[in-house]
Structure 1
């Protein structure tokens, strides 16, 4: 059940439970608006509802595309196709840019893991080195305080 404003009323797992972090959305709205313009709580809540509905629309279309291809996992390409099918072609280049950045971040993370492996040290040895660095830093800080 939900009240007239669409707030979840206690049905776990229902679509009404879907939302976005209010503080994050409020911050984004504040950053996008001119300094002399404010946004009411009701407007913020409406923006959240619109965003959730948009995400639901895109994911439903992407799911249909995925099923037509006999796939079990929605891939980024399905999202891009869904955007195009629903008339949001203007969004696709930015989505593709974000996807490209995400893939690069994943590669960078993998490189960091391999650096750990290449170090030839065990986790215990690395923790010992870290503790030694912390101790040296604390000693340096304490001597600077005196």
Structure 2
């Protein structure tokens, strides 16, 4: 039996910069757009709002659909197929995060670590992100900056 893993991500652009998340979990380090797994019973917009509240302690408004995975991607963590949905989002209040300037600049040690960085759209490169779908979305952003 094949499993699908539906994920929702927000592309938050502020002053020609995009917010990205550096994380350490499951023994891996990875860089991605903020967001995560959809929970059973959630719509995609509500799931994304919940993820931003959990990860960034921020309320966001979903502005528009940006991209949905249209190619096969196997999860890096299990045997599921990833389907990711990306939205352009707008913060409804100033973000109260300790923004970093270098990758994986975590506060603390161990698992479940996360830090956030702003990357200028003019300096964004797909290879700065870890996962194939995020890289594809970054390429779309670079093409349309």
With structure 1 as the length reference, what TM-score do the two structures score?
0.22
Higher strand share: 2
Between structures 1 and 2, the one with greater helix share: 1
Q: Highest relative contact order (Cα 8 Å, sep 6+), 1 or 2?
A: 2
Pick the structure with greater CA Rg. Answer: 1
